[in-house]
Structure 1
Amino acid sequence: MKYFPYFQPIIDINKMSIVGYEALGRVRADNGDAVSVGAMFGDASFNRRDLLAMDRSVREQAISYFSKSPQDVFLSLNLSPEWMDYIADSVPVPTLDMVEKWGVEPSRVVIEFVEGAGDNDNMQRLLARYRAAGMRVAIDDFGSGFSHLDRIIALEPDILKLDMNLFKRAMAGGVSQEVVQSIAYLARRTGSKLLCEGVETEQEFYYALECGARYMQGYFFWPALPEFIDVDSPKELVRPLLASFVNQNVDNEKQRIQYMTNMESYFLSVQAAVNGRSLEYAALAEAPAGLLRVFLCDDCGEQISPNYEVVNQTDGRVWQQDHVDLGSNWSMRPYFYQALAAKQLQQNTHIASSPYRDIRTGYLCQTIAMFLTENRMLFADIKCLDEAN
């Protein structure tokens, strides 16, 4: 039975072009179709040595084909940590030998490993040898059950491939969405490029953009192919989608700006209703949708008033007092010391925090903060626009 590689294009969204190909093993089915060999690696009935030999054969065929291509792209090769256990420090590394044999520049090769079974120390030592040769490293299925942040710290991967199942679950919101946003933040902070694979629909394309993906691959673009294609092939598809994405986000941003403008205007009217350590809320107009609570703190961050909560009742949105946080200290929150810095710079302005998840309500929120006097600050917790609608 003959095994051979197919190549799935990896799209650089910024350049709207193919930046690389992932080599994927295939075998010819009885009907002539090229089918994936992926299931074989998860089947314990297959001899592991035979699988390793097959995997290396496919890998070398891919490198051989890649060496003959004039395209300025990279080749991504999958390696299981299980295979890494077979290579001692004193043993030559087969993939390095293949790359040298076929005259491929090591910097054009990405070693992509799937987290799973395997000796973590062996894996790190072997990946260090790949890096020393000039190759790049990608972590596949990141965010799946095996993911460990210590590997990120130790390996400093060039590419993080987001787990496909996690990516699709995140589109529905909830905890998975928060995890994906955290991974995207981690990629930005570590300098890794985020790659979303398994992109199959226009909606998934847009969501990958929202996640900050630099690279994408999936059937929305192309399946794995027997040969390389023109690197500029994605432009016709990607360019209008990016334009649509921008237009939609401009509309969303206009709504967000208007929402925040309305909130800030009401915030100023609340400022006028503050009397010492209390709020004369009876004189206020009905609170806008999205306002959760207001409260006062001193210049040390200690809350000196109850929470003035806005609740929905049959006759409208009304104010209620809640003393649960009275005496709490919020000085560790970024919006507190940002407002303090603005005051010390004599900038009489309000500060809006980054979005966060409100523990009490579960809403995605922001906090607006402003100094009233030398030792009093006014705070308002508001829902983010998506939660307020």
Structure 2
Amino acid sequence: MDALEILSDLENVFPYFQPIFSADEQQVIAYEVLGRYRTEDNIISLGPFFKDDQIPDEYKFEVDLLLVKKALEKAFDLENDISIFLNRNAELLMYGHGEPFLQELLAFEKKGFNLSRIVLEISDRNYRGDLDQFDHLLQYYRTYGIKIAISSIDSESHHFERIGQLEPDILKINLEALKSTATGVNFNDVLFTLSLLARKIGATLLFENIEMSYQLQFAWKNGGRYYQGFYLYPPEAEFIQRDFLKHRLKEKFHDFISYEKRKLEGVYLATEYFHVKVQEIVMKNKKVGYEELFQAVVKEMDQIAFRMYICDEDGFQKSANFFNGKNGWVIQSEYMNKNWSWRPYFLENIIKMRNERKGILSDLYCDIETGENIRTFSYPMNENEYLFIDISYQYLFEHDQLL
């Protein structure tokens, strides 16, 4: 892209706006500003212009500031609670120590534009400058009510520490990774960690690059409050009616909710089924040893379980593992006295079982040893003995409501 051609033809530089929709209101709550350039034959994206390291920062800043001016002038036509997302990499934000950009925003504030409507969508992945100065600048902007979003988080993200340091208002998650089956499991793990982190720091999850219905469902299921992508609406030069997708989104959410209810009902029924079955086995085998109890469970659940063991209420394993390997069921004595209280939700589930006297079916998780997705059914045998039965992936696959 010829930078000088663009700089000498700034009249044909203008913003496009891609709407961002909310889950709670099913309407437009923001627009992301994207740069466009009109050639003789076409309208092209200015993305390559801003990403080209050969183009001087002062050129990029001039074009970007023009886009900001045109975008904010147009944004006066919007309702006052609609936000404007402005993309900023660290180099561009630090240009002139961030002061020229801020002065432009303050000029709009004097005209009546509330700066709390501005969301800076930043990326500092390849920034070689002083991160402390960069962070101080962001905090300075925040004193004016400007919000911060960290952009394009995907399955390759390794900057959780930076997220914790910046404590952004919004985490923007790129759903491009969902197109690849190779990154699917890894992406789910990253997303789970991000959702926990977002909850801790009070950030909102925004999912971008939604191009298909299943991606919207994924975003909804995984705690996304805001959504953006071509499946919802492409970038255009004009704004759209806030309620443009309200009816469609309500229908979609209804479908998602119905599907999720069916799955939850399936998990509930499976939990009840395992509880009744295991309770009956335990009651019939009260006076036998651990190995005899495991043998009794295998008779009833050979096609369901692949591992079982017994722990006390502090998580210390009182039995060996009874494991279904390649050559059938075997005893793994090396697991005796190991402690599992460090596992997430372990003690919480022990207390729940102890008080409610009912078994618990865990959520879906990846088994450390087999690498497969499994669930564990836990049952309170008495006040200090808890039976754990790991359910095989094959069984879950055959009962897909459990996956």
TM-score range, shorter chain: 0.7 to 0.9
Equivalent runs, 1:132-211 vs 2, <5 Å: 132-143=143-154, 145=156, 147-169=158-180, 173-211=184-222
1:166-187 deviation digits (Å, cap 9, x = unpaired): 3544796321222122222322
1:366 correspondence with 2:379: no
SS of 2:121 mapped into structure 1: strand
Further displaced range: 122-131 or 89-98: 89-98
Cross-structure match for 2:289: 276
SS of 1:93 mapped into structure 2: helix
Cross-structure match for 1:381: 390
Structure 1: segments with no counterpart, 5+ residues: none
Question: Measured at CA, do residues 91 and 28 of structure 1 come closer, stay the same or move farther in structure 2, by a change above 3 Å?
Answer: closer
Alpha-carbon offset, residue 68 of structure 1:
3.4
Question: Measured at CA, do residues 342 and 44 of structure 1 come closer, stay the same or move farther in structure 2, by a change above 3 Å?
Answer: closer
1:332 correspondence with 2:342: yes
Q: In structure 2, what is the Cα distance between the partners aligned to 1:174 and 1:233?
A: 34
1:81 correspondence with 2:62: no
Q: In structure 2, what is the Cα distance between the partners aligned to 1:188 and 1:308?
A: 38
Structure 2: segments with no counterpart, 5+ residues: 1-8
Q: Going by fraction, where is helix more abundant, 1 or 2?
A: 2
Cross-structure match for 1:38: 47
Q: What residue identity is the alignment partner of 1:122?
A: Q
Q: In structure 2, what is the Cα distance between the partners aligned to 1:76 and 1:339?
A: 42
1:11 correspondence with 2:21: yes
Percent identity, please: 28
Question: Measured at CA, do residues 82 and 270 of structure 1 come closer, stay the same or move farther in structure 2, by a change above 3 Å?
Answer: farther
SS of 1:324 mapped into structure 2: helix
SS of 2:20 mapped into structure 1: strand
1:237 correspondence with 2:251: no
Alpha-carbon offset, residue 66 of structure 1:
0.8
Cross-structure match for 2:124: 115
Q: In structure 2, what is the Cα distance between the partners aligned to 1:158 and 1:248?
A: 30
Question: Measured at CA, do residues 115 and 87 of structure 1 come closer, stay the same or move farther in structure 2, by a change above 3 Å?
Answer: same
SS of 1:9 mapped into structure 2: strand
TM-align CA RMSD: 2.7
1:200-221 deviation digits (Å, cap 9, x = unpaired): 1112111211222111111111
For the 8 Å contact 2:309–2:320, the answer to whether it is kept is yes
Question: Measured at CA, do residues 89 and 226 of structure 1 come closer, stay the same or move farther in structure 2, by a change above 3 Å?
Answer: closer
Question: Measured at CA, do residues 260 and 156 of structure 1 come closer, stay the same or move farther in structure 2, by a change above 3 Å?
Answer: same
Alpha-carbon offset, residue 30 of structure 1:
2.3
Q: What residue identity is the alignment partner of 2:366?
A: R
Alpha-carbon offset, residue 353 of structure 1:
3.9
Q: Tell me which of 58, 69, 88 is aligned to 2:67.
A: 58
SS of 1:104 mapped into structure 2: coil
Q: What residue identity is the alignment partner of 2:270?
A: Y
Alpha-carbon offset, residue 197 of structure 1:
0.8
TM-score between both structures, scaled by the size of structure 1: 0.88
For the 8 Å contact 1:171–1:207, the answer to whether it is kept is no
Alpha-carbon offset, residue 15 of structure 1:
0.7
SS of 1:77 mapped into structure 2: strand
Question: Measured at CA, do residues 312 and 245 of structure 1 come closer, stay the same or move farther in structure 2, by a change above 3 Å?
Answer: farther
SS of 2:96 mapped into structure 1: coil
Equivalent runs, 1:275-354 vs 2, <5 Å: 275-284=288-297, 285-287=299-301, 289-310=303-324, 319-334=329-344, 336-338=346-348, 340-342=350-352, 345=355, 347-354=356-363
TM-score between both structures, scaled by the size of structure 2: 0.85
For the 8 Å contact 1:352–1:368, the answer to whether it is kept is yes
Count, aligned residues:
383
Q: Tell me which of 131, 138, 142 is aligned to 1:127.
A: 138
